[in-house]
Amino acid sequence: MKENLFGRPYPFRDKVRTFCQNPSGFVSEEVYDDGLSLVNGHSYKDRKSTNTNLAILVSHNFKDPFNKPIEYGKNVAKNLNELGNGAVLVQRLGDIRRGKRTWPEELERNDVVPTLKSAVPGDITFAIGYRTMTDILRFINAMDKIVEGFADPHNLLYAPEIKFYSNKVFIDKNFETSIKELYCIGDGGGMTRGLMMASASGIQMARNLIEMEEK
């Protein structure tokens, strides 16, 4: 696990961040209950690729009159999946800049070899909104100044990578939910989003339980 990098690129100033960086890792596909195929990534202990993969996440908030962020994300994912005939889409960064889709033969001779073999080469810009796409491209350009090669045209962008974070269970400072003696910790309550905080909440809950027993 590595530190994530944040940015607020112009003109929207949305929060953009790296997430889940996997040196020598593999991009993976997660299929959700409603049939949506989303992108994720992981590393293996023994199996290594020649790539590093990471997510670039843009945070969006909705308010009035539209307040359905999960639906919004699902619709974006659905459109991307449709364009990939049900699979995750992949596109070369250079093709995005040139305003063209990536063709299978171009992907085959690309310098960066895709680690998710089931990803379909196409055009992610058909389904990702102007605001999100601008955020991502400007963030990549800014990152290139500190991580040389980050904006290389052969780099691959997979989509959709979407985190649905707005489902939060109400808990008090002892992790107790509105149902008495029902506690929620870690990602299950929508409170944490990563290993560190989920682990910390587990340790704190254990301490709370010991304290409660001693009383």
Ligand X SMILES: Cc1cc2nc3c(=O)[nH]c(=O)nc-3n(C[C@H](O)[C@H](O)[C@H](O)COP(=O)(O)OP(=O)(O)OC[C@H]3O[C@@H](n4cnc5c(N)ncnc54)[C@H](O)[C@@H]3O)c2cc1C
Which residues are near ligand X by CB under 6 A? 1, 20, 40, 42, 186-188, 192-196, 198
DSSP labels for 29-60?
A: EEE-TTS-EEEEEE--SS---S-EEEEEEE--
DSSP 126: G
Nearer to ligand X, 54 or 96 (CB): 54
Q: Least distance in Å: CB of 183 to ligand X?
A: 12
Which pair of tokens denotes residue 81? 């999946």
Nearer to ligand X, 96 or 185 (CB): 185
Nearest-angstrom CA–CA distance, 2 and 174: 29
Nearer to ligand X, 70 or 196 (CB): 196
Nearer to ligand X, 44 or 103 (CB): 44
Q: Least distance in Å: CB of 40 to ligand X?
A: 4
Nearest-angstrom CA–CA distance, 120 and 166: 29
Kindly give, in sequence order, each residue whose CB lies less than 8 Å from that of residue 45, ignoring residues fewer than 6 positions away: none
Q: Least distance in Å: CB of 202 to ligand X?
A: 6
Q: Least distance in Å: CB of 4 to ligand X?
A: 9
